[in-house]
Structures are given as C-alpha cells and as structure tokens.
Amino acid sequence: MGKTGARHTIRLLPLIAPGISVAAVLALGGCHGSASGGSASGGSASGGSAAASSPGPAAGTTSGAGACGGDYCAPADWNTGKAATPLTQIPPFVEPLNVVISAKSTVSLTDIQNALGRWKTVSTETTVKITGIHLKCISSETADVTGSGYVPQHVAWRLGGCVEGNNLSLPGNEDHVRIWNQPVAGSKYGAWFIAASYETMCLVKNGKLQAADSDKTYAALHPDAAYHCVDGGPGSITTAHPDGYNDAAKDFSSTIVTAAKGKGWQVSERTVTVARKASSGEGGVPFSPTVYVLTVLS
C-alpha cells in the first residue's frame, strides 16, 4: 500500500501475476489510513462495522458546535481537517462537508445504505489478497462536527465497494463519501455530515500528474506513483464530472432521494449556504458553499 500517510495509493508486487490483466491490477487501487467506525461520540474506531449498525440514540447536543436547528448544529468547521499526500504534486488539502442527513430523519444510516444498493462500506481494515496483490480501500480524513476536535470519519462508503469502485476510477467515475455523526438532542440517530467527491485514478510520470488510464502498464509497475485525483484537478478525467466535489454532492443527494422514494419513505431535500474556511480542495479543485440537507422519514 505504499506510504502510511497516503490517501489513495496502490500496492502491487513488482511483477503482475499471470492471468491478471493490467486493468484488473489497476482496479485494485485503494485509499489507506485509519478510518473510524464506532460510536457516534467520535474517537478511534474501525470504519468497517459502523454501517452494519447505526450508532445508538444521541445523548444530547454536541458540546462545542454552533447554532442548532432541528436538522443539525452548525459544525466547528464546514471543511475537513487538512490531509497529507505522499506526492509532492498534490499538496495537503481540505475537503468540503457537502451533504447532511438531518437529525430529524427517522430512517437509520444502515437502512439508507441498504436502500442505495451499490454503495458499500470500505475500511482501512479491509484487506484483499488476490494472487499476491494486496489492497486497502479508504484513507482517514478528519472533521470536527461536534466542536470537540477533529476525529476520523465514523464510516466510509464507495460506489461499487473497493474493487468495482477502483475500476470506476479509471474513467473518472469513482464516487465515495466519508461520514461523521453529530449527536443532537431529541434525535434517535443524530445528524450525519458527509464529504462526497468524484475521483480519477491518476499517476505521476516524468514529474507530472496524468490519468492512470493513459498508461495502465506504467501505473501497474510503479505503484508508488499512483493515486486518486479529484475530478476537475490535475491528473483527472473531467468528461463526466468536471466539478468533482460539487457534482458528487449533487449526485449523492439525488441518489438518496431516489432510493428513499423507492422504499416509500418521505424525503425532503434542500440546500443551504455555509461559510467555509477554504473554497478549494485536493489539486486546487474548487467547491461551493452549498450543502445538501436531506430528511428521510419512515
């Protein structure tokens, strides 16, 4: 898996195993770091079990969050903490919290995930071994949604899961989310703050970022040079998603609305404009002050 601090890197054996195509090898790229997945109160957790059962009832409002409405309390920061990368071509960056599942929701996060179908939990503790090829599926990022300090995501999902999701990243269609819980008084599940983005598997060649799809063999033979670039930035494919953060937020919110209606649940979607401490993320990709707020009722 390359270096410990990497966000989306690939670990491959020096030689590609017989019977596995270069494309298949590249599809086994992943993020790594320490994800969290335990109680809604934050702290260190695995990231692999949180989606199996949503955290229990919230004990009360968050200690240091901002003004509270029925949907959520304003987080200490509407962006994530700064994340480092193993590549000098991608300086440390923040990402936007761009979707919120309201504390008014009566449908659990687990049930919402199940309704989405293809969205699978991914974790740094999930390791796949296929003919000597090892991979982990997600890196850790931090956010402060409670006012108690920055903590790793409680759970992370990827469209298609680890292997299919990385395959989607080759043409720039890999969509994933990191999710943090905020306890809110009177709410069974609290509010869920989500950072969504579309990414392309990319690589550094001759000192420059480019899409891995342009030279799959090089990417397979130089795993330390491979990464995931947010769509809209250097090394990404922007045909389908020119604005990796804004497009992902809009599409993920829309996907939840569609899935909820398919289950016969009541769902509402609105947007709010928030004050952010930064307006661009990985690779300088800009993001808007818009946040999608969803309420899902059974």
Residue 246 host element (H or E): helix 244-262
Q: So what's the pLDDT on residue 220?
A: 78
d(Cα 247, Cα 244) in Å, to the nearest integer?
6
pLDDT given at position 46? 37
Structure pTM? Answer: 0.80
Q: How high is the mean pLDDT of the chain?
A: 80
pLDDT value for 167: 82
Distance of CA 109 to the CA centre of its chain: 15
Confidence of residue 287 (pLDDT cuts 50, 70, 90): very high
pLDDT bracket for residue 178 (50, 70, 90): very high
Compute the distance between CA of residue 58 and CA of residue 123 in angstroms, rounded to an integer.
Answer: 24
Q: What is the pLDDT of residue 127?
A: 53
pLDDT recorded at residue 139: 84
Tokens read off for 220: 């397979």
Segment 66-75, tens digit of pLDDT? 789 999 999 9
Q: Which residue has the higher pLDDT, 280 or 7?
A: 280
Q: What angle do CA 133, 233, 117 make, to 5 degrees?
A: 55
Q: Name the packing angle between helices 244-262 and 109-116 (round to 10°).
A: 90
Is residue 22's pLDDT more than 60?
Answer: no
